[in-house]
Amino acid sequence: MKTILCYGDSNTYGYNPENGFRYPYDLRWTSILEKNMEGRARVIPEGLNGRTTCFEDEIRPGRNGFAYLEPCLHSHGPLDLVVLMLGTNDLKIRFQLTPMDIGKAIERLIKKILEITPQKREDGKPAEILLVSPILIGENIREVADGETMGFERACEYSRRLAPVYKEWADRYGIHFMDAAQFAEPSEKDACHLSAKGHRKLGEAISKACENILGAI
């Protein structure tokens, strides 16, 4: 059986924008992925609300994705595939980051996965990586409670510039790429998080990508 690690933020955790809690297990895209694997792969969801790529959040400590990545890879290895979807929280106005900055941060995560995963595999090969650029920030961002935290239209615009930046890094490192915004939209409730329908659509899309990747190794 293959092992897939899904490393991300609240949209991997399964945050429910309707009530602020967590979607039931079977509604999360990671669970849909595991179901679709039909016993061929074990899926490990590693989502955390507020997780950034590699930046410390003084308001919400413990959210630095790079800091936790290495122990996470060691803890869950050996891994066959890492699905990496981060970047939305980096758009928050307090970080003052550009899409290019976020792309450079994503590169650090890619390099760490390529460095650590071979150490846990008997064949000494790195895990495959599926880099997923996150869903867009909704155009109604000014109307929602966290709009100011995200930086209103700035976050909306910058979220639309992440996919080509991520694609460039994926091509540079020879890893797989998928744009989540091609398959799912943010909830109208908060303009940032997936609805239950969005989880279903994203889960189906990532399932197909993972099946293709794992079928080739």
Residue 177: how many CA atoms within 13 Å on its side-chain side? 17
Interatomic CA distance for residues 189 and 143, integer angstroms: 9
Q: What is the pLDDT of residue 217?
A: 67
Instruction: Read off the pLDDT of residues 49-85 as tens digits, 9 standing for 90 and up.
Output: 999 999 999 999 999 999 999 999 999 999 999 999 9
Q: What is the pLDDT of residue 199?
A: 98
* Radius of gyration (C-alpha) of the chain in whole angstroms: 16
SS3 state of residue 35? helix
Distance CA 106, CA 84 (A): 9
* Closest alpha carbon to 196 in 63, 37, 27: 27
- The amino acid present at 49, given as its one-letter code, is N
Residues 6+ apart with CB under 8 A from 80: 2, 3, 4, 41, 127, 128, 214, 217
pLDDT on residue 64 = 98
Regarding pTM above 0.85, the answer is: yes
Predicted local distance difference test score (pLDDT) of residue 97:
98
Alpha helix stretches (DSSP H) within 14-161:
29-37, 65-76, 99-116, 147-150, 153-159
pLDDT in tens for each of the 217 residues of the chain?
999 999 999 999 999 999 999 999 999 999 999 999 999 999 999 999 999 999 999 999 999 999 999 999 999 999 999 999 999 999 999 999 999 999 999 999 999 999 999 999 999 999 999 999 999 999 999 999 889 999 999 999 999 999 999 999 999 999 999 999 999 999 999 999 999 999 999 999 999 999 999 986 6
Dmax (CA) for the chain in angstroms is 52
DSSP H or E stretch at residue 8: strand 2-8
Q: Is 161 helix (H, G, I), strand (E, B) or coil?
A: coil
Q: Which domains does the chain have, with CATH numbers?
A: 2-215 (3.40.50.1110)
Cis bond upstream, residue 45 (ω within 30): no
Q: Are the beta carbons of 54 and 65 closer than 8 angstroms?
A: yes
